[in-house]
Amino acid sequence: MDIKSVTVAGAGVLGSQIAFQTAYMGFDVTVWVRSEASIERAVPKFDRLEGIYKATLEAMKTDPKAYCRGLAASPDVSAEEIDKLKDQARAARQSIKFTTDYAEAAANADLVIEAIAEDPQQKISLYTELAKYLPEKTILVTNSSTLLPSTFAEHTGRPDRYLALHFANEIWRNNTAEVMGHPGTSPEAYQEVVEFAQAIRMIPLQLKKEQPGYILNSLLVPFLNAAQGLLANGVADPETIDKTWMLGTGAPFGPFRILDVVGLTTAYNIVVLDPRAKDPETTQGKIAALLKEKIDAGKTGVNAGEGFYKYGK
């Protein structure tokens, strides 16, 4: 594998996690965001991730259940090795660079991971601008939750080296990486991305063809939409819906707790892709309205300290 230098475009919930995990595994990481204000908003996320990694690693010394696959190769790790991994997390945080400059973000990148908002026009704008600066060698991947890479391939300037690499939330724990090409993706680029996913301690899940939502979100999005529909139509409140799911299935979290982790902005961007969301009388329109109300109030999920639930900071 030739990937050593990685740029992550976007520092939202998953963008920050991808960048931190990649730096934790020893790669040279640059994070591109649109403005200096975006950098200011991003920094606390990376500080929080350093704290999560170090606290989880410390817990692993005494609690086998604390083990996370993204943090250590196996649960049988000594206290001394854990202390070294905590130093690794500290070094990762210190090594991450931030920029708002396209040329700087692209300059030496072997791999660019796009993790910006689920907005086709924003993605096209980013790809078109990056194409002016990216070296020929660079592989470009999207972490889009639902959009197909074939939709954007022509805008990248490198359709043969463009594909999707989709991560689950809390990637240090839920260490999956769905790899999905489009018809024009070269086998060499695809394999390079598979090897990169393995190198950052993810489990690559290789899709054989394009599928909106990949595997995970093909299952998850309808589930979350069903829960939001129950709330939007006044059937039950979030706590009752979550309790029903948890008691009925044994799951540790209900759909609204999952939505808070995913981030309500991402959930909103997904629902408004449905043309029915334009009609306020439809279920999709009601879901969009309730999410918009929370987003406008700054209640965007766990990272904001409040979404459908409140969280201590």
Q: Structure tokens of 13?
A: 């919930």
User: What is the C-alpha separation between 148 and 142, in angstroms, rounded?
Assistant: 9
pLDDT at residue 313, as a whole number? 57
pLDDT at residue 312, as a whole number? 78
The SS3 call for residue 64 is: helix
Domain boundaries, the chain: 5-206, 216-304
Question: Which residues neighbour 200 within 8 Å (Cβ) at sequence distance 6 or greater?
Answer: 21, 22, 24, 25, 27, 70
Q: Structure tokens of 111?
A: 């791999």
User: What is the C-alpha separation between 17 and 169, in angstroms, rounded?
Assistant: 8
Look up the pTM and report it.
0.81
CATH fold label, 216-304: N-(1-d-carboxylethyl)-l-norvaline Dehydrogenase; domain 2 (1.10.1040)
pLDDT in tens, the chain (313 residues): 899 999 999 999 899 999 999 999 999 999 999 999 999 999 999 999 999 999 999 999 999 999 999 999 999 999 999 999 999 999 999 999 999 999 999 999 999 999 998 899 999 999 999 999 999 999 999 999 889 999 999 999 999 999 999 999 899 999 999 999 999 999 999 999 999 999 999 999 999 999 988 998 889 989 999 999 999 999 999 999 999 999 999 999 999 999 998 899 989 988 998 999 999 999 999 999 999 999 999 999 998 899 999 997 5
User: What is the C-alpha separation between 257 and 238, in angstroms, rounded?
Assistant: 9
pLDDT at residue 270, as a whole number? 87
CATH for the stretch 5-206: 3.40.50.720
